[in-house]
Amino acid sequence: MAPRGGKKIVIVKKKVAGHGGHHGGSWKVAYADFVTAMMAFFMVMWILGMDDQTKKAVEGYFSNPLGFKKGYAAGMSPLASKTSPTIVQRPALRVLVRSSEEQSFEKLKDSILAKITANDSLSALKGLVDVQVTNGGLRIELVEDGSGDTFFPAGSAVMRSATTTALQLIGRELAALQHPVVLEGHTDAARFSAAGGAYTNWELSADRANSARRVLEAQGLGDGRIVEVRGYAATKPRVMDDPMSASNRRISILLPYSAVPESPADAATMAQFKADSLRADIAKRVP
């Protein structure tokens, strides 16, 4: 039937052609697969670059997603040992961090001692700068001997030029880390008093530690890196059986660990990890 007015209605149908394949969504799937493969590749390369101790810790962690079971009964479920997953995971993380820090401290120890030995202007201090990795962290000590005035004149907090040079070298090495720094001043048990008794070994030890602080801060240890300056006088002798020994006069620089055991179980986990690592190292060296 023709519409009113006698005009024919023309219906136009438009066919929308499909877009080319490159405008579709299939390329997104391929790109996602490529990105995933690249991520997996870089993770493998990152793991291969780790040291043996870290690899072993990572392997132990991923073998048991509920927690790293080093130091616990092998094959036992964390729930069976009545230890919550959260508690089991925390020692694993501390073991990893502690192991990494110990390695960093050992490298730093070797670097500091090597540079002091190679510096001709510090020949008078060779053997008097003691660097040790202890249970508390990295400890660097400038230890007097003989007459006891190698680093500071007797009764003075004004350091000698070689002392300043040594502390500048140490400060540049420590600036590469992020650990907090604690400074300690120590004296021997010889009674020292000046200005009518108002200035004693307590003030002297604290002033010497502050003198070291100023030098270290000038080498990049500012912005809160130095968290404590302590003056101990003669209360913490280095030579316990000889309070008058010149070796008790010293400046100590301590970098504490950021990860420390919080319980006997944590300490056991760390001890077991160290023992396993030591056995692995020995096994590699023995043919």
Task: Assess if residue 40 is contained within a domain.
Answer: no
Decide: 158 and 152 in contact? Cβ < 8 Å: yes
Asked whether residue 122 is domain-assigned, the answer is: yes
Residue 90 lies in a domain: no
Tell me whether residue 284 is in a domain. Answer: no
- What is this structure's pTM? 0.62
Q: What does each of the 287 residues of the chain score in pLDDT, given as a tens digit? A: 555 566 667 676 666 555 555 556 677 888 888 888 888 888 778 777 776 667 666 666 666 555 554 444 444 444 444 444 444 445 566 777 788 888 899 999 999 999 999 999 898 888 899 999 998 899 999 999 888 899 999 889 999 999 999 999 999 999 988 899 999 999 999 887 655 578 899 999 999 999 999 999 999 998 889 999 999 999 999 999 999 999 999 999 999 998 665 555 555 655 665 666 556 656 656 65
The answer to whether residue 214 sits within a structural domain is yes
3-state secondary structure 145-159: CCCCCCCCCCCCCCC
Asked if the structure places residue 110 within a domain, the reply is yes
285 occurs within a structural domain:
no
| Residue 235 located in a structural domain | yes
Which range of residues forms the domain containing residue 186? 98-256
Greatest CA separation for the chain? 128
Look at the chain and report how many structural domains it folds into: 1
User: Tell me, what's the pLDDT at 238?
Assistant: 94
Sheet holding 250-256, edge to edge: 129-134, 137-143, 250-256, 181-186, 226-231
Helix 85-118 vs helix 161-174: crossing angle, to nearest 10? 140
Whole-number pLDDT of residue 85: 45
Domain with residue 216: its CATH number is: 3.30.1330.60
Give per-residue burial for 244-275: e unless 16+ CB within 10 Å, then b: ebbbbbbbbbbbbbebebeeebbeebbeebee
Per DSSP bridges, beta strands 226-231 and 181-186 are: parallel
